[in-house]
Structure 1
Amino acid sequence: MAKVIIYTDGGSRGNPGPSALGAYITDESGNELASIGKRIGKATNNVAEYSAVLAGFNWLLENKQSLPKDLRVEFYMDSQLAYSQLVGRYKVKNPVLRNILFEIRIKEKELGFDTYYMHVPREQNKKADALVNMALDFKI
């Protein structure tokens, strides 16, 4: 089974404050498929984290025709809260996050891929973090 790995991160300078998302996408061999860094306006760090996951799903949808039907998708994130909420360990009480989670669940079903969420240490998520900071610094 082919695999795509999506490293996601979100950040906010102020909480809420100017925010950005980062998604670094690779194949199973580590070859880069895409890098996404984008400012999302004034938001909380949690909204930015969720928005990064949503950006990964949007990339998958845009590229669905060129991806195998039996694809395994792994999302790696360093946010313990986002991870715990995405896997259903914690409830999502914030209405903004609940709306984004609803969009994520719709895209999961629409794509039909085997999707997994993994929590990783910050050191293993440096490329997504760098994309967030470059977006916040207007470098991308």
Structure 2
Amino acid sequence: MITVFTDGASRGNPGPAAFGYSIKKDGEVLHEHGGKIGVNTNNVAEYTAVLEAFAYLKKNVYKGEPLNIQLIADSQLIVRQLAGVYKIKNLRLKEIFNKIKNLEMDLGNITYKSIPREQNKRADSLANKALDSR
């Protein structure tokens, strides 16, 4: 089982924004990354974290066999949109959403779970470190 923790941050919303993700396989850290994405909203940052994590998995982990992935985020809105419970009205978010769904088709079985912010500290830390970097 692969577990992906994601988070996005925006100071100002919109404002300087960044994402962070931590990928674990069978409980061990496989890869972590955070990056800046210019001036954006928090939701764009949240979606970008998912997109970047899935792109990493497709390039570096996926070998043709379906993966079992659980994506965990502290944004209930993003989780519910990705799970198909809520519709997406914002065009920019729809664009990123469609890219994520295309990656999903290749990656395998993906489930989504929302957790309290306090339980998502590592991904949050990666996003904030990226924001604080010069």
Q: Same fold (TM over 0.5)?
A: yes
> 2:99: which partner in 1?
103
Residues 37 and 95 of structure 1, relative CA distance in 2, 3 Å threshold: same
Q: Distance in 1 between matches of 2:10 and 2:77?
A: 15
Measured against aligned partners, the alpha-carbon deviations of 1:57-115 in whole angstroms (never above 9, x if no partner) come to 111111135x582421010000011011111111100000000000001111122x111
Matches within 5 A, 1:7-86: 7-28=5-26, 30-65=27-62, 69-86=65-82
Q: TM-score, normalised by structure 2?
A: 0.95
- The CA distance in 2 between the partners of 1:79 and 1:62, in whole Å, is 25
- Structure 1 vs Structure 2 CA RMSD: 1.4
Aligned to 1:90: 86
Is there any run of 5+ residues in structure 1 with no aligned partner, and where? none
- Which structure 1 residue ranges, 4+ long, deviate > 6 Å from structure 2? none
What amino acid maps onto 1:18 in structure 2? P
Q: Which amino acid aligns with 1:52?
A: A
Q: Distance in 2 between matches of 1:96 and 1:35?
A: 25
The one-letter amino acid paired with 2:74 is: D
- How many percent identity over aligned positions? 46
How many equivalent pairs are there?
134
* Unaligned residue ranges in structure 2 (runs of 5+): none
CA–CA distance in 2 between the matches of 1:104 and 1:43?
18
